[in-house]
Amino acid sequence: MAWDRLTAEQRELRDLVRRIARERIAPRAQEIDESHEFPWDVVELYRENDIFGLFFDEEHGGLGTGTLLALIAIEEVSKVCASSGLILAVQELGSLGTKLAGSADQKAKYLPRLASGEWLCAYALTESGSGSDSAAMRTTARLDGDAYVLNGSKRFITNAGVANLYTVFAKTDPEQGHSGISAFLVESDAPGFEVARLEPKLGISGSTTGELTFDDVRVPRENLLGSEGEGFKIAMRILDRSRPGVAAQALGIAQGATDYALDYAKTRETMGRPIVQHQLIAAKLADMETECEAARGLLYRFGEMCDDGVDGAELTKASAMAKLKCGDVAMFASTEAVQILGGYGYIKEYPVERYMRDAKITQIYEGTQEIQRLVIAREMAKESRAFLLAGV
């Protein structure tokens, strides 16, 4: 068994998720990818085994096992099926607004349903004209009596059409930029709310990605998260904690591709010996494994920081570093896996081409790699390191 710092309980739960992933999800992965259909059977599998509970505290019906184990669960599933791993990551993403800024009544109403998997959720921040630039969003929310009236649209929303609850960001004061953004909990059956279209994608084909429209959607005043104008701060706090979910998905893709390439290299022979014994192939595998372990170190460090109660700038930086490293490693390892398999790597009979297609999105969503670098550098600029130069 590989060395790790997990407790016996954490190891037991990890092994449970690993077994479910390998025995129940892996045989479905190719079909999920080719059918482009959301895997409701996987959702039911999570419900039956209380996997969604890993992401919630005991007081809300969860297992209370912490952030690190939640990230490990996403990683283990994503080793065999990135679309199925994303279901878990988005259950965390879509519920974080309620966890971080929800009232006691909001938490009591929604979190138990999300913890059991009875309801799925989604996070709706991005618009066609405002991705990394949230202040450019055009969706509005106007207070009218006991409800806010939402008008506008959102784009590239994961879980569109399958979520029961959406965390939606809209401008309550369009003149105030970031300070005019507020956050709302919108139920999927709200009159005037529609999923306008679902996007055909390069990868993660079993996950729905769609455009949402809001046409005079009345949202009860009590579904405002926090206070008016706090939406941008809430969104950034959410992303600090949700980016590592994508990082865990990316790490799972990278490790899955590495493991498959290694197994193939042990059995595929050229020039009278397995290709794992050829130096150029061995070097690729060594680099892939080392990069996976380096990424895992950053990801697990973030999980431990969360579980220890770390917050603020230090957590923001750690989150961005984990997302940046894991996303890049996913693309590197999956591309190298295709190269190791050669012509076989390029055909759909073998899963490494799926790993490569799935990997690319991890460098884009939940904040592009370019944004992660800006975040890391911004936090570095705030740090005082003059003492390191003493005597130089």
Domain range summary for the chain, segments of one domain joined by +: 8-116, 121-229, 232-383
Percentage of the residues of the chain whose pLDDT score is greater than 70: 98
Enter the tokens of residue 187: 């139920």
Percentage of the residues of the chain whose pLDDT score is greater than 90: 94
What average pLDDT does the chain have? Answer: 96
What pTM did the predictor assign? 0.96
- pLDDT for position 311: 92
Q: Is 278 buried (19+), middle (13-18) or exposed (0-12) by CB count in 10 A? A: middle
Band of the pLDDT at 65, cuts 50, 70, 90? Answer: very high
DSSP string, 23-44: IIIGGGHHHHHHHT---HHHHH
Band of the pLDDT at 391, cuts 50, 70, 90? Answer: low
CATH architecture of 8-116: Orthogonal Bundle (1.10)
Give long-range contacts, CB 8 A cutoff, 24+ apart: 268-271: 268/341
Band of the pLDDT at 130, cuts 50, 70, 90? Answer: confident
Band of the pLDDT at 2, cuts 50, 70, 90? Answer: low
Enter the tokens of residue 205: 């084909």
| CATH number for the domain whose boundaries are 232-383 | 1.20.140.10
* Residue 59 designated active-site: no
133 vs 192: CA distance, rounded Å: 26
Name the packing angle between helices 231-267 and 279-307 (round to 10°). Answer: 150
Whether residue 389 is predicted with pLDDT greater than 70 in this model: the reply is no
Selecting among 75, 127, 336, 366, the annotated active-site residue is 366
91 vs 138: CA distance, rounded Å: 26
Amino acid at 345: G
Whether residue 275 is predicted with pLDDT greater than 70 in this model: the reply is yes
- pLDDT for position 214: 98
Q: What is each CA distance from 60 to 104, 207, 232, 263, in whole angstroms? A: 11, 26, 26, 42
Contacts of 11 (CB under 8 A, 6+ apart): 4
296 vs 290: CA distance, rounded Å: 10
Alpha helices in the chain (DSSP H): 8-20, 29-35, 40-48, 67-78, 82-101, 104-116, 231-267, 279-307, 313-341, 352-360, 369-382
Whether residue 388 is predicted with pLDDT greater than 70 in this model: the reply is no
Whether residue 384 is predicted with pLDDT greater than 70 in this model: the reply is yes
**pLDDT, tens digit (0-9, with 9 covering 90-100), for 228-240:** 999 999 999 999 9
Q: Which helix (H) or strand (E) holds 194?
A: strand 193-198
108 vs 18: CA distance, rounded Å: 31
* Torsion 143-146-149-154 (CA) sign: positive
Band of the pLDDT at 392, cuts 50, 70, 90? Answer: low
CATH architecture of 121-229: Beta Barrel (2.40)
Distance in Å from the first CA to the final CA of the chain:
45
Q: Is 391 buried (19+), middle (13-18) or exposed (0-12) by CB count in 10 A? A: exposed
Q: Return the closest-CA partner of residue 252 out of 362, 161, 168, 173.
A: 362
